[in-house]
Amino acid sequence: MELLRTSQHGLVTTCLFVLTVSLLVTGNMDVWVTNSNGGDRLSQKASLSPTGSSNGFRIFVDRNKRYQYISGFGAALTNAAAYNLYHSSQRDQIMQDLFGKSGISMSYLRLPMGGTDFQGVQPYTYDDLPSWQHNDFHMDHFSIQKDKEFIIPVLKQALQINPSLRIIATPWTAPAWMKTTNSLFGGEFHNGNNYQQAYAQYFVKFIQAYQAEGIPIDAICLQNEPKHTDNSYPTMKLSWQAERDIIKNYLGPAFNQHSINTKIIIYDHNWDDTTYAGNILSDSGAAQYIRGSAWHCYGGRHDTCGGFHNQHPNKDIYFTECSGGDWAPGFNVVWGMRILSIGQTRNWAKTVMYWNIALDDNHGPKVGVGGCNNCNGVITIHGNGGMTKNTEYYIIGHMSKFVFPEAVRLDTPEYGWDDVHSVAFQNNDGSVAIIVLNPRNDRDQTFYIDIDGQHYQYTLPRESVATFTYRS
């Protein structure tokens, strides 16, 4: 993956201060703060009371203008992340910090189906064959046994802590025998009808096997970054034509046959190409089975999904991967809040997810020399079993702790690039969460939140973001 540095609409490295505010039944707003330039990390501050009028920047929250429903916020439980979590001596507390109400209540996970570049053990798929066997079209050797070592136990614990947690699953590669290179590392999908049918059954068996473990799969993507291949770690090219045909001819019908309600999501790659997903959705035979498309941050404009949604308004948008790393040292919440948490949800995303939940002090464990060698996890788990909560932990938390699954996005104004940014959501219980960002590094910004005829004034320090939850 490549982190691009682009114009003001691309990746930006300014710092930001994060703040969250919650309005109680009394009409007051409670305030939580995280900042880039100070010591506050989701720290609760003094409550706010309504003021008599509003002047200057006004964030008017319009309950009558509604957009997409939210599925959740979180990160990827890679093999490496699960390995680190499972073997930590402080695992129970860490899991509470990630998924519990006392922590940040992560609500959505991305689960690789088999190997990636981040591995605690050697990469595998669910239908690996001995060298003398060339195919397994009937999936006789399919097994999730290796996931039971530490991935499934971590998932079960996460679901016990947060039963509302949802999972999207994605393979980095098909089994080697389904590929032209007969290798998990690099190569392309072997595009014959028998391989396509077998791959559809691979997903069916995966969903059924996980369901038998008490782990429902909310959605699947057919391939992570299908335009990318690397011979140093599990990857696979999958053309849009092959993805279309698998869904249209085999996967969609197989889900119907087996009464599987798991959503089918396409693409799962960067903002810089809309033709891959667009070509698939232009085929009505495939589109009837597809719920939406998934996107990554490593190329293109961050507002791409808004335009794509306008072209395909009946299909959902999922944002599924972006990683923090050593290229952005220090504690800096600006980019993640502006481009991802606020930027993607304002551009119709139902999910916002980072890459690895938990890596070790060496950015791993990893396999091979490819992929990302300086990525950070949402948390870092140290050799003594303890952890450090990285910037991404608080960026996610300012959303997931206050915006719950099935919340609906409400309308708020859009100001200039250096002015306050905002996004708002109404939860099922009627409470409203409002996230406000001051991206400037030179001055504080004062604004009013206007909702239900009430006005709340706040001065947001430079490089800061605020989340307000309001209950009428």
For residues 425 and 20, the model is more confident at 425
Mean pLDDT, rounded, for 405-429: 96
**Which amino acid, residue 289?**
Y
Stretch 390-414: mean pLDDT, rounded?
A: 97
- Average the pLDDT over 220-237 and give the result: 97
pLDDT for position 21: 45
Give 132-137 contacts, CB < 8 A, sequence gap 24+: 133/177, 134/177, 135/177, 135/198, 136/175, 136/177, 136/198, 137/194, 137/195, 137/197, 137/198
pLDDT(190) > 80: yes
Taking 90 as the threshold, does the pLDDT of residue 8 lie above it? Answer: no
| Residue 330 pLDDT > 80 | yes
The pLDDT, as a whole number, for residue 14 is 39
Distance CA 243, CA 238 (A): 7
Q: Hey, where are the domains in the chain?
A: 17-65+412-470, 71-402
Task: For residues 319 and 290, give the distance between their C-alpha atoms in angstroms, rounded to a whole number.
Answer: 16
How does the average pLDDT of the chain come out, rounded?
Answer: 92
Per residue in 269-326, pLDDT tens? 999 999 999 999 999 999 999 999 999 999 999 999 999 999 999 999 999 999 999 9
Residue 167 neighbours by CB under 8 Å, 6+ apart: 108, 109, 110, 111, 155, 215, 216, 217, 218, 219
Closest Cα to residue 43, out of 401, 329, 349? Answer: 401
Kindly state the average pLDDT of the residues 167-174: 98
Would you say 196 and 249 are in contact if contact means Cβ atoms under 8 Å apart?
yes
Q: Are 294 and 268 in contact (CB under 8 A)?
A: yes
Q: How confident is the model at residue 27 (pLDDT cuts 50, 70, 90)?
A: low
- Please identify, in words, the CATH class of the domain defined by 71-402: alpha beta
Separation of first and last alpha carbons in the chain:
45
CATH topology of domain 17-65+412-470: Immunoglobulin-like (2.60.40)
Measured distance CA(113)–CA(81) in Å, rounded: 14
Res. 20: pLDDT tops 70: no
Half-sphere exposure of 31 (CA within 13 A, CB side): 21
